A and B are shown apart, each in its own frame.
Chain A
């Protein structure tokens, strides 16, 4: 049995996987983000790489000298903004890019309040009242590619197709399931 720290599909290794743009180049994505004045939504289903892309955009923006603030929400809440967000929002540089993961878990008043910020990038499962930067999607081919990046020869294309279907296209869950093979 492989020790969990050495398992090629442990959570730490999954989190280090880079986002793989499907049907668009990384530079094309950044050009579109610039054209949208850093005001955009990343739209896609569970396990399709929305958060991974958001984190990579945060790093890229920081490297370009643009300040950022990142806030997470993964459960539905009340009508107000989460109290834990207030210090970040109250001290936010007006030129900073505000990144919100789980935008559609927020109430309508909270989303309306956040949209007042000039530069806002969010992840959401459905269209938001923001221009769509990209619709993230998955495929058996993507799953095959990512799995074999973590462990050469981990799965073949047929297994990837079956695993992709079993997990309803959720690539994150499909990769996590491979943990038990090691």
Chain B
């Protein structure tokens, strides 16, 4: 069994470029942890194949089986979160813990207008 947790300070999920995303990433595994990483990334979804861009990654050193670490990212200038007819672009925080494929994901909105851009 594995339990992963992501929390952002103030429960905020909408950010403008240049804002800080700060919070806590936690995990609890029943076996020794090989690696624990947190990615700030965007991905597309829709009619075509998925595209992904990783803006920043934090690797948590010497992760024990149970832990919670503080993280902080600076939101890049773009791309903005958007939805059109064929594609949505979504920003996310993604915590990945190995061994196994344990993933916890939290979607964010990155936009100067406090909401995703509608095309």
Query: A residues bordering B, Cβ < 8 Å?
Result: 1, 3-7, 10-12, 176, 179
Contacts and interface: CB of A to CB of B under 8 A. Distances in A.
Contact of B90 (A1, A5, A7, A179): A5
A22 to B, nearest CB: 26
B18 to A, nearest CB: 25
Interface of B: 45-50, 83-88, 90
Contacts of A4: 45-47, 83-88
Nearest to A13: B45
A10 B85 contact: no
Contact of B45 (A1, A10, A176): A10
A11 B46 contact: yes
B108 to A, nearest CB: 13
Given A6-B88, A179-B46, 5 more contacts: A4-B46, A4-B47, A4-B83, A11-B46, A176-B47
19 contacts: A3-B83, A4-B45, A4-B46, A4-B47, A4-B83, A4-B85, A4-B86, A4-B87, A4-B88, A5-B45, A5-B46, A5-B90, A7-B47, A10-B46, A10-B47, A11-B45, A11-B50, A179-B46, A179-B47
Contacts of B88: 3-6
Nearest to B81: A5
A4 B87 CA distance: 5
Contacts of B50: 11-12
A1 to B, nearest CB: 7
Main DSSP-derived SS at the A contact region:
helix
A1 B85 contact: yes
A12 B45 CA distance: 7
Contacts of A5: 45-46, 83, 88, 90
Contacts of B45: 4-5, 10-12
B85 A11 contact: no
Q: Which of A1, A4, A7 has the most CB of B within 10 A?
A: A4
Nearest to A6: B88
Contacts of B48: 11
Q: Which of A6, A10, A12 has the most CB of B within 10 A?
A: A10
A62 to B, nearest CB: 10
A89 B95 CA distance: 31
A68 to B, nearest CB: 14
A120 B87 CA distance: 37
A4 to B, nearest CB: 3
Contacts of A3: 83, 88
A11 to B, nearest CB: 6
A40 to B, nearest CB: 26
Contacts of B87: 4
Contacts of A1: 85
